[in-house]
Every structure is written in structure tokens, then in C-alpha cells.
Structure 1
Amino acid sequence: MIPDRRLILLGAAALLSGCAGGEADRMPRPMARNQGAVGRVDRVQPGSFPNIPFADWTDDEPEYVLYPGDEIEIATPTAPELTRTLRIGPDGRVSLPLVGQLMAADRTLAELESAASGAYASQLVRPVVEITLKTAGPLKVWVAGEVRTPGVLDMNGDIDAYQAVVQAGDFLPTAKPQEVALIRRGPGGRRMMRVIDLRPRRGEVVALRRGDLIYVPRSNLGELANFFTQIRNALPIGFNYTINGQYQNF
């Protein structure tokens, strides 16, 4: 995992180098476009943005990870009186009898079972824990960049990328809707990026998944490097990704 300080220095170096050149040289350029079946689709390769290590894009569904707002049952078959149905709090934690607070968000069910079993090891002779997802919380996505009201949005039901932008107040006049970045958690938690065309009546329809991040640039996608250095510590729980298998914020 790249240390925080190194990422910040890399971002600062990119900005300083941009001051010396023109707009075209300000940030790393994305890869050339590939023509998709509907609209234009860019599949950004890992080396496209040196300061932002993206994985190759895939449409495969990653293993489900828990989010704030999810309702789960934490069952203890060897001590049924401790079984609880709990909702994961905004801080990503749940409160368990005997052991107190436990981080649940950004963990798979199996990972949380292991963590809860370890927490109960000092309290139970047989610390067996079984966790079931009862109800998934709201679909949360992050919309940032050149929109009127950027931030985290709760989506009810299925929604596509353009609908999310509309809920965020629509594009500003300075936006570049034909070159919008969609950042998504892929298998293993690694972040991926593709470029989508969201021009009204001309762009493509892209269904969103939980935890997707939409970034609308002002000029070119090189702005992503600067964006990540600014918000990497501001993302809420549930928007974490991994680099080389280790979780961290942008």
C-alpha cells in the first residue's frame, strides 16, 4: 500500500508540473477511447494515471461487503441468548453483547464472522458466530466535480449514472459530460475506472452499483489526480477501496 504521504507528494508534484506547462500538459492523459456498442466507452488501463493505480475494468460482481444501514443477524448458536438483529451504524460499527463495538462496514460476511468469533473467544467456550444479511441499506453513490450539489446520495431502487447526476443538481455549464469518470469497486476491492458519455439524449445508459463514484470533470480527466489528493480522507465509510489487497481511502 502506498503511504499517505507519498500519495500527497505525488499529487503535489503533478500540480506543480502543471503550472509549468499548458492546459494539455497539466495532468496525465487518459488512454485513447474505444468505441462501445452504445455511446463511447473508455476502459482505462492501470498505467493511464500514474498517481492513481486503477485495476483493469470488469463487469464481474465482487463479493458483497457490508455498508452502514445494512441490517444483519449475528447469531451465536452456542449462546442463543446473545443472538441479535442489528443495523450497522453511520460509523460502520455494531454493538455486540459482552464485547461492545465491532467494525462491520467494508467487511464481507465471512470477514465479520471471523472478527466476531475472535471477539467472543474470551467470553465463550465455543465462540461460533453466524452472520446473515437481513436487509440491505440504501444504494449510496458519490457524485463529485462539476455538478450543482456534489456529495453522497441515497438512491431508491435501480438508477443509472445520468439520473444520479440529475439528483446531484445536474451538470454545471463548465462540465464536460461526454467524459465522465465512473469509479467502481471491483473483485478483491480494487478500484476500476471507465469513462462514460452522459450527454443528454446522446450518451449511454450505465446502471450504477452500490458505492460507485461519479466524477464530472471541467476540462479533462487529468483533474482526477488533483481530486483524489483533496478528498482521499473525506470519503465516508462504504467508499473505501483497496490497493494491492489492502483497504484504504482514495
Structure 2
Amino acid sequence: MNYPKPRWSILSHCALSFLLVLALIGLSGCASTSSRQSEEELEALAQARKEASEPLVLKEGHVIDISFPGAPHLNTTQRIRPDGRVTLPTIGEVVAAGMTPERLASELSTRYASELLNSQVLVTVTASSYPVYVTGAVARPGKVLLDRPMTVLEAILEAGGPDFTRANLKGVRVIRIEDENIRRFTVNVQDILGGRSVEPFYVAPTDIIYVPERFSWL
């Protein structure tokens, strides 16, 4: 004999089905968010590797030592100006930005030829800005140039600050390349902002800083 199912059983099945649908939607959203986050991290990592493999090119903000072993009175230290130039003894302004140190040294050797007993010229970068990559839930994701030691929080602020409507500041990830090895760190920026953590985490050149999004069920 077939008996009608009790109302509570039908409701339980409906509730179970509804919860299952919600769970599937949530898992789909989590998978989509996780996939998007992984893609952003991989893109930033590829960009960091690309720039690390490229030869050093002089640019605005670099401080360079220019030394002349055959004429030490010409030795000078210069910071490359926003117009890409430096001002040197006797020859005046020279465009330095866009050149490698070796190419600039070769050009200076030619331009100073009449004053040098030894044609060797050495160009060394002694200070410079360095890039880090800030991505994820921030206002302006992308490359940030730092000209002084900075913490992970300061680097995020340089990228316009976190998007507080979606950023998960408790799990900020820092990816660092050291001697072809990849190291990963997790920094609780929320505790730093709340004054509950006083130990700063300083970023290193070419670090990737990823601010993940909070999972949303909607």
C-alpha cells in the first residue's frame, strides 16, 4: 500500500534541495574566485620573472657613480633627473635614461676621449627605485616603484589602498623569488591596521603582493 509522504518529509526534501543548490552556487563562486585569484598571481609572477631577466636599464631616480680611472678629477655621483639627464663636468648635460650602464660608459668614453689618458669609464648604479607588484582587491593593481624600504601595508597604500568592500586583509599573500626559488608568506594586514600587530613585514624587490577577495555567497 502506498501512503502519502508526511508533510515534514516533503518539506525536508525541499529544504535539502534548496541547501544543496545554495552549496553548489557557493562552491561555484568559490571556484571562480579562486581561479581568478590564481590567474592574477600567475600573471604577476610572469611579469616579475620577465623583468628580472632583462638587462638593467637606467631610468629616472637611479643614482649612478661615474668614475674615470685615467682622470679621477672627473669622478662624479649623479641622480638621473625626471628629464632622463645628468649634468657632467666639462661636457654638460647627457641623456642617461634608457641606456644600460655599459652603453653610457661607452658613450662617455667617446665624449671624454680628448681628456682621458685611460679610455676606461665605469658606470655603477648605487641606488634606485625597485618594483613590486600589487594585485587583487586594491584600487590600482599593477607595478609600484619604491625608492625606500617599505612594508607590505605601505606598498598596498601606494597602489591606492585596499578595496574595503571586498578585500580579505587577514590573508594578504606575498610571493618572493629568491635564487630561482619561490617563497610564499601570509600577512595579516587587518591586525596591523587595528594595532594588534607591531612587527612590520618589509617587501623586497619584485615581490608580488596579492590582496585576496572575501568569499561571497551572493
TM-score, scaled to structure 2: 0.48
Which one has a bigger Cα radius of gyration? 2
Considering fraction of residues, name the structure with more helix: 2
TM-score, scaled to structure 1: 0.44
